[in-house]
Amino acid sequence: MAKATRKPVTARGEQTRQNLLAAAELEFGEKGFHTASVSSITRRAGVAQGTFYIYYDSKEEILRELVRFMNRKLRHTLTQATHGITDRIEVERVGLETFLRFAIEDQNLYRVVLESQFIDESIYREYYEQMADVYTARLEQAQREGQIRSGSAYGQAWALMGMASFLGLRYAVWEGTMPPDDVMETALAFIEGGLVPLKDDDVKAE
Amino acid sequence: MAKATRKPVTARGEQTRQNLLAAAELEFGEKGFHTASVSSITRRAGVAQGTFYIYYDSKEEILRELVRFMNRKLRHTLTQATHGITDRIEVERVGLETFLRFAIEDQNLYRVVLESQFIDESIYREYYEQMADVYTARLEQAQREGQIRSGSAYGQAWALMGMASFLGLRYAVWEGTMPPDDVMETALAFIEGGLVPLKDDDVKAE
Amino acid sequence: MAKATRKPVTARGEQTRQNLLAAAELEFGEKGFHTASVSSITRRAGVAQGTFYIYYDSKEEILRELVRFMNRKLRHTLTQATHGITDRIEVERVGLETFLRFAIEDQNLYRVVLESQFIDESIYREYYEQMADVYTARLEQAQREGQIRSGSAYGQAWALMGMASFLGLRYAVWEGTMPPDDVMETALAFIEGGLVPLKDDDVKAE
Amino acid sequence: MAKATRKPVTARGEQTRQNLLAAAELEFGEKGFHTASVSSITRRAGVAQGTFYIYYDSKEEILRELVRFMNRKLRHTLTQATHGITDRIEVERVGLETFLRFAIEDQNLYRVVLESQFIDESIYREYYEQMADVYTARLEQAQREGQIRSGSAYGQAWALMGMASFLGLRYAVWEGTMPPDDVMETALAFIEGGLVPLKDDDVKAE
DNA sequence: CATGAATGAGGCTTCATTCAT
DNA sequence: GATGAATGAAGCCTCATTCAT
């Protein structure tokens, strides 16, 4: 499938590869995929145009790489932040906040993910499905433990991702800030309201 | 000084303008903005290339027009569908379903809206801010009537739009279908759970 | 040769024709021939695009018309200004000044003439050859009367036109002002120095 | 941020750049700026269309380059031709002739200069102001040495350039020949008549 | 007389990608 | 490993001119 781009072997090569990736993140984040140009990426990376194709098969490929990188990075960040928290609803609270901070911090990377939808849908779907699957697994676990209401964990995952994304869009991306307190509270109300176990669930949990 | 695209004076001109808009909807929806070409739009519309520029200043301008059109159309559809329903939570239920059906039906148009974000952010923001403002006004009204929980109506609007959008993305756009029942139920659980008035609110409502 | 553009017969038609010519003068003068557009000319003239072609066969034709108009106007102005002056060198003095004032006043028209060279050389040549021929005739007359030095009157005409044109370019066109006094004096020194009859000429004049 | 046309690094690149410039000289000279096309220039130069934009930002930029080149070339030619001549009036005589021969020889290049006025006035002004400044300096020197009449050297420069240009236009450009002898004599009469020191100047010269 | 919609050729420019050194 | 010159397809947009009403 891949057209055998020479993978770097030397440390110098690895360095160049990293530089290109970092440059692409900036370039894509600032200008958007289509307005971004390979020549500008190489300029930022301080290498010649041709060098780009030693490491990546195409402009799209580096995008795909970037989205995967973001995926790992976000998941890692979330895992770190919620590590050790046992209450699932608390996890959601912290997770939302962590995500929003992440989106502010890594705005460029985040924009790249969003845009990937219109370059190659498969990149974007891979990202969200991957994310949703992991999320779903965690929620199912919590359901089994009776921490949250039973129901379609997959549906819960998408609903929660939807809320988080839109708050991220509205505040992190558009304003570069966290949502004001009342908005955060409202969001948490939805999370709790939608997840807190009902009486019936207690029974099931037994 | 302005490029002064002629607003059509005759019926024939108006017809051409419509044809171009319809052609653009198809073209953008199928190929995405960047892959779409003006020449293909005019071919679909059955006019010469130059004719395009009599009615629209640029490829971007017709996109903007299209997004505005979609905005009006969706709001109109929602208003129609929820007309006469007095219970706000019921309105939300129906609204979600209506939106999802709309996204399936007018998938092309909906994709155009999503993509507009990466062509010219202002187009996209105009769309969502407009939508959010109207939504917020309605929710505030419902809050005053004690139908839903008090809190940031603006935050509620964004949370609700976020959930709807993601379900629309996952099912309407990706699959072309409505979400399965259990997912819908889960979503409604979030809506109700986040909106149903608390005890305290009863007091305010008096 | 001409493609039989309907010449206007009614007063209304004549008016439209005038309006178009005046609009073209402005448009060409401000933007230059190539940047100027027929549609902008008709807009300025307050008529529809198609109307243009009732009166002029093409964009070039109206340019030609304009240059001819300028030719008549300048010659008329010069004739008026020097009328009654018997001394040829005095005529030259006054003529230079008149020309420069004219170029300041009718800058747009003058620019049009200059540019015509690069649209259709024949327009431009017609203008300058016509001008040179008339000029030459007058100088020959003055030579016969012994008022100015004998020699190629045609050469004198071109030399004088050259000086005038360049001063016109440098000051009238570029600055929109008359040359400073010392420059004018210098120019007049060339005129006199090149035209004042030599001793020998007195003899011939007899 | 700047469009950053690569200044060639290799000899091959430099060669291509030269080829493009030479091709543009031909193309512009033959067809005029507006009728000329970049694609025709690259065809003449034997490279692909895109190559053009590696070396020049736009069609206008290569014009500017060409005019500057012409400026240097003409000044160099004049300097060579008049080198060693001590009498200023003799310098003028030789200069005029040299210029006219140059205009015949490099007719294409010369036309490009003239036309530049209507593409971007700044190109043209740069050319003439540069030329006038150098010329003025030389004339001032001659004035100080009492070789020519005192007065505005700048005015003298423009008057002389005007005469030369118009003779160049009438004969070199239009006919491709030198002016006939009687015309040349007449022109020289103006030069001498306008430059030969007056009695008064003798005094100053002391 | 006038209108204004429609035409369609044609030009400039961009940029991902290849390749010889 | 890296360079940078070259490619060439492809697209947006302009505008003089025509024509039906």
Q: Which of D99, D108, D181, D190 to mutate to test the interface with C (most CBs of C within 10 A)?
A: D190
Contact C155, D187 (CB under 8 A): yes
A107 and A196 in one domain?
yes
SS3 assignment, position A162: helix
For the ranges B65-69, C107-111, D140-144, which has the lowest average pLDDT?
C107-111
As a whole number, the mean pLDDT across chain B is: 91
The verdict on a CB contact (< 8 Å) between A117 and B114 is yes
Q: From start to end of chain C, where are the E strands?
A: none
Q: Which residues contact A30 (CB under 8 A, 6 or more apart)?
A: A36, A108
Q: Are A120 and A47 members of one domain?
A: no
CATH number for the domain including B53? 1.10.10.60
Chain center to CA of C158: 13
Whole-number distance in Å between B52 CA and F11 C1' = 14
Q: What is the pLDDT of residue A200?
A: 63
pLDDT exceeds cutoff 50 at A3: no
Span CA (B88) to C1' (E19), Å: 66
Return d(Cα C124, Cα C115) in angstroms, integer.
8
Q: Please give the pLDDT value at position C1.
A: 41
Instruction: Tell me how many residue pairs between chain C and chain D have CB atoms under 8 A apart.
Output: 123
Q: Say which amino acid occupies D171.
A: Y
Chains with 3+ CB–CB pairs under 8 A to D are C
Q: Are residues A81 and A170 in the same domain?
A: yes
Task: Indicate if D15 and D71 belong to the same structural domain.
Answer: no
Chains C and D touch (3+ CB pairs under 8 A): yes
Q: Are D78 and D100 in contact (CB under 8 A)?
A: no
The predicted pLDDT at position D201 comes to: 54
- Between CA B9 and CA B24 the distance in angstroms is 21
Please check whether residues A53 and A146 belong to one and the same domain: no
Domain boundary among D21, D36, D57: D57
Nucleotide nearest to D48 (CA to C1'): F7
What's the residue count for chain C? 206
Provide the pLDDT for residue C197. Answer: 87
Nearest to C158 among D117, D158, D167 (CB): D167
Quick one: pLDDT at residue A16? Answer: 93
Comparing CB atoms, the residue among B128, B162, B195 nearest residue A162 is B162
Are C98 and C197 found together in one domain?
A: yes
Domain count, chain C: 2
**Averaged pLDDT, A68-73:** 92
The answer to whether residue A1 scores a pLDDT higher than 70 is: no
Q: What is the pLDDT of residue D184?
A: 96
Under the banding of pLDDT at 50, 70 and 90, the label for residue B3 is low
In which band, very low, low, confident or very high, does the pLDDT at A205 lie, cut at 50, 70 and 90?
A: very low
Same domain? C114 vs C173:
yes
Q: Percentage of residues in chain B with pLDDT exceeding 70?
A: 94
Residues in chain B whose beta carbon is closer than 8 A to a beta carbon of chain A? 32-34, 114-115, 117-118, 125, 128, 149, 151-152, 154-156, 158-159, 161-167, 170, 174, 179-180, 182-187, 189-196
Inter-residue contact A152 to B181 (CB < 8 Å): no
Q: What pLDDT sits at residue C186?
A: 95
Calpha distance D23→D18 (Å, rounded): 8
Looking at the structure, tell me whether residues C110 and C14 fall in a common domain: no
Task: For residues D189 and D96, give the distance between their C-alpha atoms in angstroms, rounded to a whole number.
Answer: 12
Question: Rounded mean pLDDT of A125-134?
Answer: 94
Is the CB of residue C54 inside 7 Å of nucleic acid strand F? no
Is the pLDDT reported for residue D123 higher than 80?
A: yes
Q: Residue A159: which of B34, B158, B163 has the nearest Cβ?
A: B163
Is residue A51 within 8 A of residue A19, CB to CB? The reply is no
What are the pLDDT digits (tens) for B77-103?
A: 999 999 999 999 999 999 999 999 999
Neighboring chains of C (3 or more beta-carbon pairs < 8 A): D
> What mean pLDDT is predicted for residues A133-139?
95
Say yes or no: A79 and A169 in one domain.
Answer: yes
Question: Residue C38 belongs to what H/E stretch?
Answer: helix C38-45
On whether both D44 and D132 belong to a single domain, the answer is no
D47 lies in which domain range?
3-57
**Among the three residues B19, B36, B57, which one is the final residue of a domain in this structure?**
B57
Smallest CA–C1' separation from C38: which nucleotide?
Answer: F16
Q: What percent of chain B has pLDDT over 90?
A: 85
Give residue A2's pLDDT. Answer: 44
Chain B positions touching A169 (Cβ under 8 A) are 128
Do C107 and C29 contact (CB within 8 A), yes or no?
yes
C164: chain D residues, CB-CB within 8 Å: 162
In this structure, the answer to whether residues B175 and B193 fall within a common structural domain is yes
Token representation of residue B141:
């009204």
Report whether pLDDT(D6) > 70: no
Assess whether D153 and D70 both reside in one domain.
Answer: yes
CATH number at residue D69: 1.10.357.10
Would you say residue A194 has pLDDT above 80?
A: yes
Nucleotide nearest to B39 (CA to C1'): F11
Mean pLDDT by 10 residues, chain C (206 residues): 57 89 92 92 94 94 93 93 92 95 92 90 91 95 93 96 96 95 95 85 47
* CA dist B60 → B13, B38, B56, B112, D178 (Å): 20, 10, 9, 11, 57
Instruction: Express each pLDDT in A22-39 by its tens digit.
Output: 999 999 999 999 999 999
The reply to whether residue D159 touches residue C190, judged by beta carbons under 8 angstroms, is yes
Q: What is the mean pLDDT of chain A?
A: 90
**Residues of chain B contacting A154 with CB distance shorter than 8 Å:** 183
Q: How confident is the model at residue D200 (pLDDT cuts 50, 70, 90)?
A: low
Q: Which of B37, B57, B77 is the last residue of a domain?
A: B57
> Residue B65 corresponds to which tokens in the numbers above?
């027009």
